[in-house]
Amino acid sequence: MISGHAAPHATDGIWYASYPPDVVREIDPGRYRSLAHFFDDCVARFTDRVAFVSLGSEMKFATLGGKAHAFASYLQSVGVKPGDRVALMMPNTLAYPVTLFGTLLAGAIVVNVNPLYTVRELGHQLKDSGAQTVVVFENFAKTVQDAQPGTRVRNIVVTALGDLLGNALNLKGRAIDLILRHVKKQVPAYALPDAVRLPQALARGARRKFEPVRIGHGDIAFIQYTGGTTGVAKGAMLTHRNVIANLLQALAWAGGRLVEGEEIIVTPLPLYHIYSLTVNALAFFAIGARNVLIVNPRDIDGLMRALRHENFTAITALNTLYSALMDNEAFRARDFSSLKLAMAGGMATQRVIAERFRAMTGRTLVEGYGLTECSPLVAATPLDTHGRSDFDGTIGVPVPSTRVRLRREDGAWAHAGEAGELCVQGPQVMKGYWNRPEDTAQAIDANGWLATGDIGVMDARGIIRLIDRKKDMMIVSGFNVYPNEIEDVLAAHPKVRAVAAVGVPDPVTGERVKAFVVRRDDTLTVEELLKFARLHLTGYKVPAFVEFRDTLPLTSIGKVLRRELRESRDTGSKPQD
């Protein structure tokens, strides 16, 4: 343990005292040789259990195993070799786990793609990764068509929402696809004459023998792109060992609170996102959970229909999605007695949201912290014997086998209670950025410490409080101002639905604070909101400008795009003295 001003040292393990007795300090990534070994082991252990559910249709572990091997065999038939990149561009449908695990079985590298990408964004990712194969949801096939010139893409597999929903005839799936294409007209016309439909690819793969390939811990499993909202997107190289370690770290953190073969996890966040990928698709897969896939989490009514007959025990979501769920009458009316874990991540969870959730469900929102470069889990709030924790605004303690230190601006390690940039060392830390050795050297030092770009404080118990992103910090009259603090205060006003804060250049103070606010009650005025802010914030933190909006710009998983707000900050602002 440390006390006073002693600097927390990487090997002290001061946070172990905060671990419940059933949480181990170290995990063993050697339990699985690769993610392919992991997949085959899970299929063998949970053969007859339901692995995934989509639109009311179930897919058992055994069925998934057969289809994933068929897809791996298809990839081999079109020349995909170990180390080749396969881009997956789809929402949460049954096609995702089939093609995900099939790609890993073939020894290829998964390149997860946000299906909402523009042609420019997709073109960059395809060119940068060198992907030669793309699996795309047909609603976004036109984007692939337009982005393909200048890339190395030569194999395209197109999948539809109705694929894999039923038996060989799949009447349900065909009906769904007909409605989407011809009634709702949600599938733009596209021309990919050489593309293969996913059912055809699986049939072709099933007719040939799959040739097992040698895959090891050091091989790359994923090129996961990050940083697209702050600059040129970079591909984090996550090895089989990185991802195996992180899913085992997640399970170790949960201790004995999750029961093998009994859990039902709701997956509203897209599986192409690293948080949902590792926690929902892999960690819960490891315990034989029933995974309820939500195609479109923004359709709250559709989400609730998917949950009508699901007595779920766990859910992962973001602050914004929890807020939307709690505004839904059907969600508020649910019986939450079976809920064990409600996990929040991807962005800071506001206290007002956590308190509303606790009052409504009797469960605490458990906040974790991670980043793509760490596969992603780094820290989480320890759980008590009932799977609960007290929401206190911290991100908890480092998960097993993880070391965290804080680096001050002068390069020295911070003391307990001192702010600094979080640096992480552990088996989940990425191999580096794809084809970017200079960026890799800037991010990871010679001792394996990854600089996260996040500012935090660690107390004498090893508990970490995240202050903010380094890049989002404002400096007002020489004082550091962190957007999360301002947003947390304003979000507590009963007439505020959502809020985001950014810095506005000022010739006198350097920067001033501007708040973008979505009202819950249209009677809210600027004066009323600022009066509330002054009660809880020191003068230089109180917004100098307030702009009311109908919505805030969000990423596909619900993160607020502060960059976009900064770029539009000169319009519609309301200056206050």
Rounded CA-CA distance 199/159 in Å is: 8
Sequence-distant (≥ 6) Cβ neighbours of residue 566 within 8 angstroms? 502, 503
Q: What tokens appear for 538 in the block?
A: 């020191």
Q: Which helix (H) or strand (E) holds 503?
A: strand 496-506
Helix 483-491 to helix 526-536 angle (10° resolution) is 120
How many other CB atoms sit within 10 Å of the CB of residue 512? 21
How open is the CA angle 326-360-397, to the nearest 5 degrees? 90
> Is residue 71 pLDDT above 80, yes or no?
yes
CATH number for the domain running over 35-45+60-215: 3.40.50.980
Q: Residue 128 has what pLDDT?
A: 97
Question: Cα(545)–Cα(494) distance, rounded to whole angstroms?
Answer: 20
For residues 254, 256, 261 and 263, what is the CA-based torsion angle, rounded to 10 degrees?
-50
Region for 61 from its dihedrals, namely left if φ exceeds 0, alpha if ψ lies in -120 to 50, beta otherwise? alpha
Asked if residue 258 lies in contact with residue 338, where contact means CB atoms within 8 angstroms, the answer is: no
Residues 295-342: tens digit of each pLDDT: 999 899 999 999 999 999 999 998 889 999 999 999 999 999 999 999
Q: How confident is the model at residue 10 (pLDDT cuts 50, 70, 90)?
A: very low
Mean pLDDT of 413-426: 93
Question: CA triplet 267, 268, 273: central angle to 5 degrees?
Answer: 85
Report which residue type is found at 298: R
Domain boundaries defined on the chain: 35-45+60-215, 473-575
Q: Tell me, which fold does domain 473-575 have in CATH?
A: GMP Synthetase; Chain A, domain 3 (3.30.300)
Q: Report the pLDDT averaged over residues 246-275.
A: 94
pLDDT value, residue 168: 64
Mean pLDDT of the chain: 90
Give CA angle at 246 (244, 248), nearest 5°: 70
The pLDDT-based confidence of 388 (bands split at 50, 70, 90) is low
User: Does residue 414 surpass a pLDDT of 50?
Assistant: yes
Q: Are 491 and 508 in contact (CB under 8 A)?
A: no
Give just the sign of the alpha carbon dihedral 394, 396, 402, 405.
positive
* Residue 400: HSE in the Cβ half-sphere, 13 Å Cα cutoff: 22
Contact 115, 91 (CB under 8 A): yes
The closest of 273, 276, 266 to 300, measured between CA atoms, is 266
Asked whether residue 5 carries a pLDDT value surpassing 50, the answer given is no
Handedness of CA 413, 419, 425, 430 (dihedral sign): negative
Q: What is the pLDDT of residue 231?
A: 52
Looking at residue 457, its pLDDT comes to: 94
**What pTM was computed for the model?**
0.86
pLDDT of residue 575: 44
> Which residues is 164 bridged to in the sheet?
none
Beta strands in 81-219 (DSSP E): 85-89, 109-112, 133-137, 155-159, 196-197
Q: Give residue 491's identity as a one-letter amino acid code.
A: A
pLDDT for the residue 169: 64
pLDDT digit string, tens, across residues 428-478: 999 999 999 999 999 999 999 999 998 999 998 899 998 877 778 888 877
Measured in Å, how far apart are the chain's first and last C-alpha atoms?
Answer: 48
Annotate 473-507 with b (16+ C-beta within 10 A) or e (fewer): bbebeeeebbbbbbbbbbbbbeebbbbbbbbbeee
Strand 314-317 relative to strand 264-267: parallel, antiparallel, unpaired?
parallel
Per-residue pLDDT at 12: 57
DSSP 3-state of 447: coil
141: enclosing H helix or E strand? helix 141-147
Nearest to 20 by CA among 417, 399, 405: 399
Q: Is the pLDDT of residue 229 over 80?
A: no
pLDDT > 70 fraction of the chain, expressed in percent and rounded: 93
